[in-house]
Amino acid sequence: MLLTNKPLVIVAHDAGAANHILAWIESGRLDVSNAEFLLDGPARKIFSKICKHPQEILRKERYERVLIAGSGWSSDLEHEALKFAHKNNIHSISVVDHWVNYRERFTRGNETVFPSEIWVTDEIARDLAVSEFPTIKVALQSNDYAEMFVRRVSSLTQSRNNKKRSKNVLYILEPVRGDWPLVKGNGEEECFKFFMESLEKTGLDLHLDITLRPHPSEALDKYDVWGRNADKKSIDIKINNTDSLIKQVAKSDLVIGIESYALYLAMLSGKPVFTCLPNYAGVCRLPDLNIHRMSVSMEKLYEVLR
The average confidence (pLDDT) of the chain is 87
Tell which wins on pLDDT, 190 or 78. Answer: 78
Which range is least confidently modeled, 29-43, 79-93, 182-196, 217-231?
Answer: 217-231
Average pLDDT over residues 138-142: 97
Write the Ramachandran bin of 89: left for phi over 0, alpha for psi from -120 to 50, otherwise beta. Answer: left
pLDDT of 229 over the 80 cut = no
Residue 284 within any structural domain of the chain: yes
Average pLDDT over residues 166-191: 76
Q: Where are the beta strands (DSSP E) in 14-157?
A: 36-39, 66-69, 91-95, 107-108, 111-112, 117-120, 137-140
Q: Which of 100, 148, 119, 141 is nearest to 244 (CA)?
A: 148
For 299, the 3-state DSSP assignment is helix
Q: State the CATH number of the domain containing residue 108.
A: 3.40.50
Give the CA dihedral 155, 157, 162, 164, nearest 10 degrees.
130
Angle at 266 between CA 231 and CA 176, to 5 degrees: 60
Claim to verify: residue 285 and residue 202 sit in the same structural domain: yes
Q: Model confidence over 48-76: pLDDT tens digits?
A: 989 988 988 887 765 678 999 999 877 89
Claim to verify: residue 107 and residue 168 sit in the same structural domain: no
Average pLDDT over residues 123-130: 96
> Cα(146)–Cα(125) distance, rounded to whole angstroms?
15
Claim to verify: residue 120 and residue 175 sit in the same structural domain: no
- Examine the fold and report which residue of 112, 142, 172 is the final residue of a domain before the chain moves on: 142
pLDDT of residue 295: 78
pLDDT of residue 68: 97
CA 58 to centroid of chain Cα atoms: 26
Claim to verify: residue 193 and residue 255 sit in the same structural domain: yes
Q: What domain range includes position 267?
A: 162-305
Q: Model confidence over 148-177: pLDDT tens digits?
A: 999 999 999 876 655 566 789 999 998 876
For 39, the 3-state DSSP assignment is strand
pLDDT of residue 180: 61
Do 81 and 68 touch, CB atoms closer than 8 A?
Answer: no
pLDDT band of 298, cuts 50, 70, 90: confident
pTM of the predicted protein model:
0.91
Q: Per-residue DSSP letters for 135-170?
A: TSEEEE---HHHHHHHHHHHHHHHT--TT-SSEEEE
Q: Model confidence over 242-285: pLDDT tens digits?
A: 999 999 999 999 999 999 999 999 999 999 999 998 877 778 88
pLDDT of 230 over the 70 cut = no
pLDDT of residue 112: 95
Residue 155 within any structural domain of the chain: no
What's the number of domains the chain is made of? Answer: 2
